[in-house]
Amino acid sequence: MAEMAELSESLGDYLEAIFQIVACKKAVRAKDISERIGVNRSSVTAALHALAQRGLINYAPYDVITLTESGQAAAGELVRRHAGLKDFFVNVLGVGEREADEAACRVEHALTSDITDRFLLFVEGVTHG
């Protein structure tokens, strides 16, 4: 997925946050992202401009933020990988939820998409027979 290759760790985190907020609240505003990630609104605004330039979100100041079709696909993939890694850390390695979540976030950005996909396929094969 070309869009994901262009994303920094930080922008990936913003995209994931937007995806998760949409899943819970249906509508996303910069304030929601700021509160979820724990950054100031000016940082959120800069990230929203960068994501909009990449065609991943629809953004206009003071309006709701929506994911484009490409953004939805990229965010869904990021969330899938994060969840798979976190599940492995919790269910296979016995790591606590919070530590597993933080580790999954770091690892998902350190590995290439191909390696992460292969790893998750391996884990699925080992854990599900």
Cβ-based neighbour number of residue 98 at 10 Å: 8
pLDDT tens for the 129 residues of the chain, in order = 545 556 888 899 999 999 999 999 988 999 999 999 999 999 999 999 999 999 999 999 889 999 999 999 999 999 999 999 999 999 999 999 999 999 998 898 888 889 999 999 998 887 776
Where is 58: in which H helix or E strand? strand 57-58
Intervals of CATH 1.10.10.10 along the chain: 7-70
Q: How far apart, in whole angstroms, are the C-alpha atoms of residue 126 and residue 72?
A: 29
What is the CATH topology of the domain spanning 7-70? Arc Repressor Mutant, subunit A (1.10.10)
DSSP 28: B
Residue 33 near residue 46, CB atoms below 8 Å: no
CATH number for the domain running over 75-128? 1.10.60
Residues sharing a CB contact under 8 Å with residue 80, sequence separation 6 or more, in sequence order: none
pTM value is: 0.84
